Amino acid sequence: MPFTSPFSRLTLGAGAAVLLIAAAQAEDPAADGGDDRRAGTLEKATFGELPDGRTVDVYRIANANGIEMRVINYGGIIVSLKTPDKHGEFDDIALGFDSLEAYLSDTYRQANPYFGALIGRYGNRIADGRFSLGGETYSLATNDGDNHLHGGQQGLDKVLWQAEPFENDEGAGLVLSYTSEDGEEGYPGRLETQVTYTLTAADELVVDYRATTDKATPVNLTQHSYFNLEGEGSGSILDHYMMINADAFTPVDDTLIPTGEIRPVEGTPFDFTQPTPIGERIEQDNEQLTFGKGYDHNFVLARQDASSGDALLAARVWEPDSGRLLEISTTEPGIQFYSGNFLAGDLTGKQGQAYEHRSGFALETQHYPDSPNQANFPSTILEPGETYRTRTIYRFSAQEEAPGS
């Protein structure tokens, strides 16, 4: 029976042959050794319709090694990400859903885990939903207790982005664009935002962020994918080995707002300078773990060359059964490690498995939380005439032994 796909093939101009599915392969999966992976594809299909009638599209992007991601232009959400284990078997390692309805459901919105979404204008928390800039105080939505979280009620995770597929010498991907008007969610300035996802032939997902404004405004964009390197829906992530390239973290109060202190990780459960199972110390009697109900903290990255604009290693995660290894590099000064503490089994993923407590982790590259109210933190204020640029790289591989062993 011929293979039938809901995706339409994209034609991107001269040189785009690498992105096209071979007709014979589509007709006969056995032509690829019985494997349904495509060697270098970029396809588009309809994912659903928003309540106002606008269409949401999904883009399937794969490289020649079979790594495949699906992205929707609603929220810039990475719906799925399939990578090989140490035996060459592919699994989806990103938590998420197969339908737009699931992302729009009341259950999801109440839980609000931000699966796979682009986050902004300000990733993480701003105390009391307020900050002062240029002699004026701005009030934002308080959607996390008394605090502002991840851009507010209608942050960049809940808007329809314009999507343009592309190919270049690095690989193939999407350019996502959105203009946040002056005053949107309480922020000053008309912010023109562009995020580029590139899936490379080197098995990397490169995320480039760019923004400009016509008024001074805080900007802190990030990506909020949850990972389980054994495969989404496979249970706990507590046996994953985590290394975070950070000698310090920013402790928080009981509402998860940084106190302003930069505290060394040495001698604490936050010391991931050597590969350590996520669950090894997560239940220790520690005030910071109590506040976060586990790990939900910003780590101060050890940028050996602070003047360099290069993306430097921030974190490395390895899962023993699959052998999958995720390495994250970034130009950002911080990374938020969240251990899925509020996943509660009320959301069901793509394999029909409930996402239970700590069944996924997030590593959000960022500037520090509440920076607009913390004078000793690196500034997040973007001025007119400046261009906000950051880059984060996710590298996928697999190996038998733990890194460093």
CA 21 to chain centre: 28
pLDDT in tens, 176-214: 999 999 999 999 999 999 999 999 999 999 999 999 999
299 pLDDT above the threshold of 90: yes
The answer to whether residue 404 sits within a structural domain is no
What is the structure's pLDDT at 218? 98
What pLDDT, on the 0 to 100 scale, is given for residue 8? Answer: 54
> 209 and 83 share a domain?
no
User: Are 175 and 214 part of one and the same domain?
Assistant: yes
Q: How confident is the model at residue 169 (pLDDT cuts 50, 70, 90)?
A: confident
In angstroms, the CA 362 to CA 335 distance is: 10
Look at residue 9 and tell me whether its pLDDT is greater than 80: no
What average pLDDT does this structure show over 76-101? 98
* pLDDT value, residue 309: 75
Active site residue 224: yes
Q: Is residue 23 one of the residues assigned to a domain?
A: yes
Residue 396 CA, distance from chain mean position: 14
Query: What's the rounded mean pLDDT across residues 41-51?
Result: 96
pLDDT score for 305: 55
The answer to whether residues 228 and 272 belong to one domain is yes
Three-point CA angle 152, 343, 143, nearest 5°: 15
Give the model's pLDDT for residue 308. 60
> Of residues 184, 240, 364, 367, which has the active-site annotation?
364
Q: Is residue 1 domain-resident?
A: no
Question: Does 364 qualify as catalytic in the annotation?
Answer: yes
CATH, residue 309: 2.70.98.10
Q: Among 37-51, 112-126, 187-201, 349-363, which stretch is predicted with the lowest mean pLDDT?
A: 37-51
Residues counted in the chain: 405
Q: How many domains does one find in the chain?
A: 2
| pLDDT for the residue 28 | 38
Per-residue pLDDT band for 107 (boundaries 50, 70, 90) equals very high
Regarding predicted confidence, which is higher, 35 or 176? 176
Q: Residue 21: which pLDDT band, with cuts at 50, 70 and 90?
A: very low
Q: Between 306 and 134, name the one with better pLDDT.
A: 134
Rounded mean pLDDT, 151-166: 97
154 and 303 together in one domain: yes
109 and 74 part of one domain: no
Q: Which of 150, 224, 240, 367 is catalytic?
A: 224
Residue 95 lies inside a defined structural domain of this protein: no
Quote the pTM value.
0.91
Residue 3 falls inside a structural domain: no
Question: Sorting pLDDT into bands at 50, 70 and 90, what band is 244?
Answer: very high
* pLDDT computed for residue 302 by the predictor: 93
Q: Could you give the dihedral angle defined by the CA atoms of residues 319, 322, 328 and 334, in that order, rounded to the nearest 10 degrees?
A: -30
Confidence class for position 22, pLDDT limits 50, 70, 90: very low
Give the residue-averaged pLDDT of 263-292: 98
- Domain shared by 85 and 126, yes or no: no
Q: Are residues 112 and 17 in the same domain?
A: no
Residue 131 lies in a domain: yes
Q: Quick one: 145 exposed, middle or buried, by C-beta within 10 A (0-12, 13-18, 19+)?
A: middle
pLDDT in tens, 222-234: 999 999 999 999 9
According to the 3-state scheme, what is the secondary structure of the chain? CCCCCCCEECCCCCCHHHHCCCHHHHHCHHHHCCCCCCCCEEEEEEEEECCCCCEEEEEEEECCCCCEEEEECECCCEEEEEEECCCCCEEECECCCCCHHHHHCHHHHHHCCCCCEEECCECCEEHHHEEEECCEEEECCCCECCEEECCCCCCHHHCECEEEEEECCCEEEEEEEEEECCCHHHCCCCEEEEEEEEEECCCEEEEEEEEECCCCEECECEEECEECCCCCCCCCCCCCEEEECEEEEECECCCCCECCCCEECCCCCCCCCCCEECCCCCCCCCHHHHHHCCCEEEEEECCCCCCCCCCEEEEEEECCCCCEEEEEEECCCEEEEECCCCCCCCCECCCCCECCCCCCEEEEEECCCCHHHCCCCCCCEECCCCCEEEEEEEEEEECCCCCCC
Write the pLDDT tens digit of every residue in 340-376.
999 999 999 998 999 999 999 999 999 999 999 999 9
10 Å CB burial of residue 236 (0-12, 13-18, 19+) is middle
- Count other C-beta atoms under 10 Å from residue 377's C-beta: 21
Both 254 and 194 in one domain: the answer is yes
pLDDT band at 278; cut points 50, 70, 90 = very high
* C-alpha to C-alpha distance for 368 and 127, rounded to whole angstroms: 12
The answer to whether 232 touches 352, Cβ cutoff 8 Å, is: no
Asked if the model's pLDDT at residue 7 lies above 70, the reply is no
Cis peptide before 121 (omega within 30 of 0): yes
| pLDDT for residue 325 | 98
Contacts of residue 156, Cβ cutoff 8 Å, sequence gap at least 6: 75, 76, 117, 118, 119, 120, 121, 178, 180, 193, 221
In a shared domain, residues 46 and 153 = no
- State the chain's mean pLDDT as an integer: 91
More confident residue, 261 or 308: 261
In this prediction, residue 6 carries a pLDDT of 52
Q: What pLDDT was estimated at residue 112? A: 92
Per the structure, the complete domain to which residue 20 belongs is given by 8-90
